[in-house]
Amino acid sequence: MMQLDVAVLSERGGRTENQDACGQWMGESAAYFVVCDGAGGHLGGAVASKLALAETLASLRAGESCTAQALEAAMRTANEALVREQQVQTQYAQMRATIVALAIDLKCGGASWGHLGDSRLYCFRDRSIVAQTRDHSVVQTLVDAGYLQPRELRTSPERSKLLSALGDADRFEPAVAAESFALAAGDKFLLCTDGLWEYVQESEMEEAIGECPSAQEWLRALERFVLARGKRKHDNYSAIAVWINP
């Protein structure tokens, strides 16, 4: 059975409330990890992220499958749950949530992932990023079109404007890796909200891997960048690190 070293970090940062949500579930044949970032006004963001997390994990657990289809179905279930809650509790009519989810097949040694919004997944091999999700955001689209430089993903005034997120009744377009990723001993994953990646460069993530003996120590190293660079009222920041042990 594949052995995993897992660490979780979720803090409210400079805000009065933490509207992020992180969760995991491990069975005999599969392990699931989910990070959500809520939005939508007072309390609405927290409701959205927690509901999205619970619905996604429940759907994945029910099927205990690690396919792209299972991930998309789980996120669709979460989206439908948010839309229903918006209709039942009208004070939450504008609530939304980003999501990033990782599924690991513990027997076959494969991984699948999917996301919606600007919460990210990074996959590292030999201290280098070999896979990274692409944000569903206005700034990412402008970078892709050549109108902005990649560094502006972190600095543009438009950075927080999303093109899609959970809680949209008319448009559900998650990005899910089409093929399973074959894992190797030593591979590492980072799932995180924008409150973390905004303050940590990819090169710093890679460098910190070589300096840290465990997933927990790695997250603590990344958190130090956030604490040193975050503004007084900086966003909630959350992350799950998953290391594939030899």
Q: List, for residues 31-80, the tens digit of each pLDDT value.
A: 999 999 998 766 799 999 999 999 999 999 998 899 999 999 999 999 99
Residue 6 lies in a domain: no
pLDDT of residue 41: 66
Residue 8 lies in a domain: no
Domain that holds residue 94: 17-235
Q: List, for residues 6-38, the tens digit of each pLDDT value.
A: 999 999 988 889 999 999 999 999 999 999 999
Instruction: Please say whether the beta carbons of 29 and 105 come within 8 A.
Output: yes
Share of residues in the chain with pLDDT > 90 (%): 76
Residue 7 lies in a domain: no
C-alpha distances in Å from residue 113, one per residue of 2, 123, 160, 220, 228: 18, 10, 22, 24, 30
pLDDT of residue 120: 97
Q: List, for residues 115-161, the tens digit of each pLDDT value.
A: 999 999 999 999 999 999 999 999 898 988 998 888 888 888 887 88
Average pLDDT, the chain: 93
Segment 154-174 shows an average pLDDT of 88
Share of residues in the chain with pLDDT > 70 (%): 98
Residue 227 lies in a domain: yes
Residue 11 lies in a domain: no
Higher model confidence: residue 136 or residue 233? 136
What's phi and psi for 179, nearest 5 deg? Answer: -120, 150
Domain count of the chain? 1
Written as six digits, the tokens of 91 are 């004070």
Residues 6+ apart with CB under 8 A from 129: 122, 123, 202, 205, 206
- Reduced to 3 states, what is the DSSP secondary structure of residue 51? helix
- Hunting for tokens 């699931």 — which residue is that? 32
Residue 241 lies in a domain: no
HSE-up of 171 (CA within 13 Å, CB side)? 10
pLDDT of residue 213: 95
This prediction has a pTM of 0.95
CATH number at residue 52: 3.60.40.10
pLDDT of residue 149: 87
Residue 3 lies in a domain: no
pLDDT of residue 42: 67
Residue 4 lies in a domain: no
Written as six digits, the tokens of 87 are 């209709």
